[in-house]
Amino acid sequence: MFHRSLAKRLWYRFVRRVCQLVGVVAYQVRHTGRENIPAEGGVLVVSNHQSHFDPPLVGMACMRQMNYLARDTLFGFAPFRWLANSLYAFPIDRDGLGLSGIRESLRRLKRGEMVLVFPEGTRTRDGEIAKFRPGFTALAVRSKAAILPVAIEGAYAAWPRRQRLPRPGTIHIHYGRPILPEEIKDCDERELLVEVERRVRQCQAEIRRHPAM
């Protein structure tokens, strides 16, 4: 397992704690299925994408450090670049996972870290899950990492893409059962893509059956 400096780890934990407090107070954020988060090894975390809130929403309940992908254009803004780098984010191109993003994702997964991706490629337009784009499954296959399906519900209502500022709401995140490396090796990439999307949709359906109170 790769270890960063103590200062960076403490900073990450501090920011995570602040996000947890803000999330609970402002949005009654609820996380379920945390027992499904693998305690060690490389993990490709795959989530639906409802709002700008999504990266910290998925990461704040993980006691392990999460690595985040961010659009490369955002790294041109110096304050964001500093913040993103301090929280283990790295850039992807506007059209998806570019070559440098693939290499960096693989590098971090192979050294036993968690990497969060949003296979829809952009925020939802209606709160529903869009068809997943291919390509991300190759990361899990090549790195021998587990895949952790996650669904977010309520973030779209709190901050839809057509709205400039967020509004009050209640947000629920559910972590599904991971697909382990030994299961992944027996699937071709098309089958794996379909299965991961099915599991993320299943996580969303679980939230809708048992909404946060």
Domain spans in the chain, listed from the N-terminal domain onward:
6-209
197 neighbors 176 (Cβ within 8 angstroms): no
CATH homologous superfamily of domain 6-209? Glycerol-3-phosphate (1)-acyltransferase (3.40.1130.10)
Q: pLDDT tens digits, residue range 39-48?
A: 999 999 999 9
List, for the chain, all residue ranges whose pLDDT scores fall below the cut of 50. Answer: 97, 213
Task: Give the integer Cα–Cα distance in Å for 20 and 58.
Answer: 11
Q: Which residues contact 161 (CB under 8 A, 6 or more apart)?
A: 51, 123, 124, 125
Q: What are phi and psi of 10, to 5 degrees?
A: -65, -40
Q: pLDDT tens digits, residue range 104-123?
A: 999 999 999 999 999 998 89
Q: What is the pTM of this model?
A: 0.92
